[in-house]
Amino acid sequence: MPAPNAAELKNHLHKLALDYGFVAVGVAQVRKLQEEEQHLTDWLNQGYHGEMGYMENHRDKRLHPGELVPGAKTVISFAYNYFPGSTQAPHSPAVARYAWGGDYHRVVKDVLYDLVAELETVAGPIQGRVFTDSAPVMERQWAALSGLGWIGKNSLLLRKGVGSWFFLAEIISDLDLEPDAPVTDHCGSCTACIDACPTQAIVQDGVVDARKCISYLTIEKKSPLTAGENEMLNGWAFGCDICQEVCPWNRFAEPHAQPRFEPAGDWLHWDHARWLQLTEAEFGELFGHTPLARAGYGKFMEAVIGNR
């Protein structure tokens, strides 16, 4: 069987992406993100990264995937739905929806590795790497360049007719494919996310001061929360979904079909009193395989208690 040409290979890639449950796929040419260099510098200089010192590292790789994956020609970006079909009990310590089930780093990568293996049966050996929020890759910027959507005022990637309840993942490789065109911004004059953020963490369109962000306070901040920061939690114990909950584009969200994203146990129905009884052993059983493991029992319970 003759090797497929670039157009045929790209069509096959799109078919595989749908077959494997991705809601979108797009291609961008590898290059330095010169337009992002000053934005990154300004964000860091303002101290908006807080205690996330790792954001200052690997600057060259962050701005140029060719430094991360030598010989790479394209960044193929994917979007994978995680929106759950259930809800959490009201007035209990809230957990961001992306963390309800299995750790997305593992789940999405496993799916993408299977996709790559099948793609190689047609394309031949692919030299490259797979990423899901696991390296200094500017995922949202590359997804926007590849036409998956646009970066909204809350700094998340939004896709018309889909919303933003999805994970991003990439194949950075030597595959030579025709790049896709970026799409236009469809936020317009809407400021719902900015208006709804209880801590005013969105300091300008597309720019978030992490030090004010509830997700940062409940996950990334390693030093103890101050009394003022506890007051900023607004009922959240891990992450925060407020800016997505109010986004008009998310009215199109549909439940995911990934069994590994289903929550373990019945904790979605717990009230605050039950959360306060959570032991470290229980935490490990329920959340050891989820993104909550990143925060750990102590950090998580700090937020649970801080929400009393």
Work out the average pLDDT over 112-128.
Answer: 96
Strand, helix or coil at 209? coil
Work out the average pLDDT over 15-31.
Answer: 98
User: Do 19 and 140 share a domain, yes or no?
Assistant: yes
Q: Which residues neighbour 240 within 8 Å (Cβ) at sequence distance 6 or greater?
A: 94, 96, 213, 214, 215, 218, 234
pLDDT band for 307, please (50, 70, 90 cuts). Answer: confident
Tally of structural domains, the chain:
2
**So what's the pLDDT on residue 2?**
67
**So what's the pLDDT on residue 115?**
98
What does the pLDDT look like over 52-75, one tens digit per residue?
Answer: 999 999 999 999 999 999 999 999
What mean pLDDT is reported for the chain? 96
Residue 259 domain-assigned?
Answer: no
Residue positions annotated with a catalytic role: 133
Determine how β-strand 74-81 pairs with β-strand 166-173: antiparallel
User: Do 22 and 126 share a domain, yes or no?
Assistant: yes
What does the pLDDT look like over 152-207, one tens digit per residue?
Answer: 999 999 999 999 999 999 999 999 999 999 999 999 999 999 999 999 999 999 99
**Cβ proximity of 109 and 93 under 8 Å:** no
Residue 183 domain-assigned?
Answer: no
> d(Cα 94, Cα 137) in Å, to the nearest integer?
29
What does the pLDDT look like over 206-219, one tens digit per residue?
Answer: 999 999 999 999 99
**So what's the pLDDT on residue 5?**
86
pLDDT band for 134, please (50, 70, 90 cuts). Answer: confident
User: Do 135 and 228 share a domain, yes or no?
Assistant: no
User: Do 164 and 282 share a domain, yes or no?
Assistant: no
User: Do 145 and 197 share a domain, yes or no?
Assistant: no
pLDDT of 1 strictly over 80? no
Angle 217-221-222 (CA atoms, 0-180°, nearest 5)? 140
> d(Cα 124, Cα 118) in Å, to the nearest integer?
10
User: Do 243 and 124 share a domain, yes or no?
Assistant: no
**Cβ proximity of 17 and 78 under 8 Å:** yes
Domain hosting 272: range is 192-248+264-306
User: Do 127 and 233 share a domain, yes or no?
Assistant: no
User: Do 235 and 284 share a domain, yes or no?
Assistant: yes
